[in-house]
């Protein structure tokens, strides 16, 4: 193998993350050179609008609007795809892999949607695809799962995987600030996706959960095979009620595997966590992931989950792996157990039916404030064999109504969905009920 003496990096995208990568690589060029014995060059960058003001100084000669030209430039060794989305980003990624290059990506949506195609292209053409920044920002969770915890079979992985949602929920609790105002701040701070619906509706966390499930179990679970709920319907009433009941509300991704049945499940939903749980105390833009393996037990990882610097830190760790690949020829450990499973003859896990997933539930209903309402609702829960644990009634935001909050004992998704559908049909119920899960994780 011819070892390059200069390694050229091409950035496709120079927005929040791209500028962070540029800034921190530029700052640490001497250290990186000393560490790897090779010169690094920030060679080219593709953007949409070359005239846009940026926080880093880049010679105009290095800027282009042609991302594919950067991806296929024969002088570029490492291509960082930091554009986002699943169209141009996919073309850029596949073109670079087909040219045998190393692609470093922060793009969880792309990986979740096209992971099979991307890894196949990398394998076929001798390229590499590295994606530490795609999950949990600055937390090295990909490395932890792929390398540090390689001895383990994972029964439970759950965590806060979306910084924007955690930032919103935290400020709603601490300041009582309006949701829309906090979301606007999350955008300004560079935490939110270009399409913020991906964050607040739970899709971004679902993309990340899909990647973690792949790393842990070797199968791609698509978002339409998961439960995915977001935070956009959570109100001050829910946050206050949760606190009164001894909980915090966090948007969690939960990945389970039952090795007896060989079934896995993946879900994302706002969850009531007991106030003293570690993850209940992880606030603002921070993410946290609890990983339970059969050898190590439970390990927990906490750090900034979004934003320029934390994400750049993760991208640069992949760039360091890429340099090692280019200079020492060291392969990155196979990213998922699937290849090992095939060698070992183990069967890939199946998806557990979503209706079988069990939990305790929190239900908030806006109902007419009149006699007989509770009895109608209790009849429906009884018919679905959903057992009520607590009932609280309080004034609703609208004058003619009351908020009715139920918590249930353990039930399953099929029964609770049935209950919700029937409750929503009652004349006394004025808005679609809100369903939250109560998280009692046995690690």
Which residues form the interface with ligand HSE (CB under 6 A)?
137, 162-164, 191-193, 199, 204, 305-306
Q: 31 CB contacts (<8 Å, ≥6 apart)? A: none
Q: How many residues does the chain have?
A: 443
Which residues form the interface with ligand NDP (CB under 6 A)?
13-18, 46-49, 52, 65, 67, 82-84, 88, 106-107, 133, 137, 190-191, 193-194, 306-307, 311
Which residue, 170 or 403, has its beta carbon nearer to ligand HSE? 170
How many helices, marked H, and strands, marked E, lie in the chain?
Answer: 15, 18
Which residue, 196 or 431, has its beta carbon nearer to ligand NDP? 196
Least distance CB 144 / ligand HSE (angstroms): 17
Least distance CB 302 / ligand HSE (angstroms): 14
- Consecutive H or E run containing 240: helix 236-245
Q: Tell me how far the alpha carbon of residue 153 is from its chain's centroid.
A: 21
Helices 108-125 & 88-98 angle (0-180, nearest 10): 20
Q: Residue 82 binds what, of ligand HSE, ligand NDP, none (CB under 5 to 8 Å, by partner type)?
A: ligand NDP
Among 33, 52, 108, 208, the active-site one is 208
CA distances from residue 386 to 149, 424, 427 in whole angstroms, order as listed = 39, 16, 21
Q: Residue 211 binds what, of ligand NDP, ligand HSE, none (CB under 5 to 8 Å, by partner type)?
A: none
Q: 429 CB contacts (<8 Å, ≥6 apart)? A: 365, 366, 367, 377, 423
Residue with the CB atom nearest ligand NDP in the bound state:
15
Least distance CB 224 / ligand NDP (angstroms): 20
Any bridge partners for residue 178, and if so which?
none
Which residue, 64 or 411, has its beta carbon nearer to ligand NDP? 64
How far is the C-alpha of 72 from the C-alpha of 335, rounded, in Å? Answer: 24
How far is the C-alpha of 389 from the C-alpha of 416, rounded, in Å? Answer: 14
Q: Residue 162 binds what, of ligand NDP, ligand HSE, none (CB under 5 to 8 Å, by partner type)?
A: ligand HSE
Least distance CB 396 / ligand HSE (angstroms): 31
208 annotated active-site: yes
Q: Residue 409 binds what, of ligand NDP, ligand HSE, none (CB under 5 to 8 Å, by partner type)?
A: none
Active site residues: 208
């Amino acid at each position: 193998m011819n070892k390059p003496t200069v390694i050229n990096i091409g950035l496709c995208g120079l927005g929040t993350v791209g500028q962070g990568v540029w800034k921190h690589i530029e700052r640490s060029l001497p250290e990186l050179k000393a560490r790897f014995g090779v010169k690094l060059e920030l060679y080219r960058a593709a953007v949409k609008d070359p005239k846009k003001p940026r926080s880093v100084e880049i010679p105009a000669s290095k800027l282009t609007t042609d991302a594919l030209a950067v991806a296929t430039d024969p002088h570029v060794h490492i291509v960082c795809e930091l554009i986002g989305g699943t169209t141009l980003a996919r073309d850029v990624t596949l073109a670079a892999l087909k040219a045998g290059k190393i692609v470093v990506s922060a793009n969880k949506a792309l990986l979740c949607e096209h992971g099979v195609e991307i890894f196949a292209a990398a394998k076929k053409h001798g390229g590499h695809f590295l994606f530490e920044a795609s999950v949990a920002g600055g937390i090295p969770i990909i490395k932890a799962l792929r390398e540090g915890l390689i001895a383990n079979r994972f029964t439970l992985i759950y965590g806060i995987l979306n910084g924007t949602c955690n930032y919103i929920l935290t400020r709603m609790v601490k300041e009582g600030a309006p949701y829309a105002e906090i979301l606007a701040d999350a955008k300004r701070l560079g935490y939110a996706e270009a399409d913020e619906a991906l964050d607040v509706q739970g899709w971004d966390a679902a993309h990340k959960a899909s990647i973690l499930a792949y790393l842990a179990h070797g199968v791609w679970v698509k978002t339409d095979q998961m439960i995915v709920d977001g935070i956009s319907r959570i109100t001050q009433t829910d946050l206050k009620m949760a606190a009164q009941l001894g909980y915090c509300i966090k948007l969690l991704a939960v990945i389970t595997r039952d090795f007896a049945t060989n079934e896995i499940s993946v879900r994302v939903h706002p969850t009531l966590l007991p106030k003293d749980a570690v993850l209940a105390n992880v606030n603002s833009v921070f993410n946290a992931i609890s990983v339970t393996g059969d050898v190590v037990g439970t390990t927990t990882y906490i750090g900034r989950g979004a934003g320029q610097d934390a994400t750049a830190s993760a991208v640069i760790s992949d760039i360091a792996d890429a340099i090692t690949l280019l200079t020492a020829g060291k392969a990155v450990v196979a990213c998922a157990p699937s290849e090992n499973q095939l060698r070992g003859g183990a069967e890939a896990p199946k998806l557990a039916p979503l209706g079988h997933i069990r939990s305790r539930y929190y239900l908030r209903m806006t109902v007419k404030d009149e006699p007989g309402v509770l009895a109608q609702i209790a009849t429906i829960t009884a018919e679905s064999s959903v057992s009520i644990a607590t009932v609280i009634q309080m004034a609703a935001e609208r004058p003619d109504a009351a908020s009715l909050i139920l918590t249930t004992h353990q039930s399953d998704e099929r029964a609770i969905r049935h209950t919700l559908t029937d409750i929503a049909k009652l004349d006394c119920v004025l808005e679609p009920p809100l369903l939250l899960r109560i998280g009692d994780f046995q690690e």
